[in-house]
Structure formats: C-alpha cells, structure tokens
Amino acid sequence: MGFQELFESFDKKKRKSHFKNLLAVAMADGKLDNIEFDYIMQLADKCYMTGDEVKRVIDFPEAISFHPPKTERERFDQMYDLVTVMLVDGRIDDREMQLCKVFAMKLGFKPAIVDKLVLDLIDNALKGVAKDVALAHVFSK
C-alpha cells in the first residue's frame, strides 16, 4: 500500500483498484490500444476519478492494493467493465480472458461459475444488452 493510500476513503481505494484492474486487462495482450485507453478513461470519468488519480495509477500501479467491492451489484459492475474492456478492441485475447476469470474469482465469484459468468457477460455485451438487463439475466440463471 502506498503512503497516500493510507489516508484515502475505501470508496476511492476501490475505484483506483478497479481502474488498475481495467488497465491490466487492456494490457494483458501486450499492448494498450487507443480505443482501449479511451474506453478506460470514460469508465474512470464515470467513477469520478480525477486526472491526477488516473495518472498515479498508471505511473505507480504497484502502489495500488486490491480492494474488492462490498456488494454483489458492485462486483457485477466491475466484472461487466472488465469484460467490456476486453471486447472494446474487437478481439478477445486468451490472456485477457484468463485475467478476467482471475479477477472474477478475486471479486468473490465462485470458481464453479466463473467460466459461465464471463461467457454470459461477453454474450450480453456483444448483443448490446444494457448492464442492468445483463445483471438481471446473468443472476436469474
């Protein structure tokens, strides 16, 4: 944990942790495309991250600890974001897919459902299903 993280709220730590995970998925294939970076920046903006916070995460990712969300909804939202980052460049790289599954388990999803969860999220995202509808669809099964 970085020195600055000691004085941050849990919510801010959680947002920075999520942003770090998004970057990791985008870079899992060895490159960060502009479309991936632009999309991640849109997500950072929706999470109310400042430019300085984003820069700190990019420059010092090792200083950001993993902070899983506390609610099922937040866990799902983070998974949905991770999957859409994987899809935004139009290619699904095996390394990105594996990292999404690793993050799913770190977020608290049971290993027995992770493969199906990620595949269902991919299917919903590719079909343009809204996040709230995808949430209801995935968890109604």
Q: What is the pLDDT along the chain (141 residues), one digit of tens a residue?
A: 455 555 568 788 899 999 999 999 999 999 889 999 999 999 999 888 888 888 889 999 999 999 999 999 999 999 999 999 999 999 999 999 999 999 999 999 999 999 999 999 999 999 998 888 888 877 665
Asked if 122 and 73 touch (Cβ cutoff 8 Å), the reply is no
**Which among 133, 96, 139, 99 is positioned nearest to 116, based on CA atoms?**
139
Distance between terminal CA atoms of the chain? 38
Q: State the Cα–Cα distance between residues 71 and 61, nearest whole angstrom.
A: 24
If one counts the domains in the chain, the total is 1
- The domain containing residue 119 runs over which residues? 4-139
pLDDT value for 3? 53
CA angle, corner 19, sides to 81 and 97, nearest 5? Answer: 50
Q: State the Cα–Cα distance between residues 119 and 124, nearest whole angstrom.
A: 9
Q: Which helix (H) or strand (E) holds 52?
A: helix 51-59
* Segment 89-117, tens digit of pLDDT: 999 999 999 999 999 999 999 999 999 99
CATH of the domain at 83: 1.10.3680
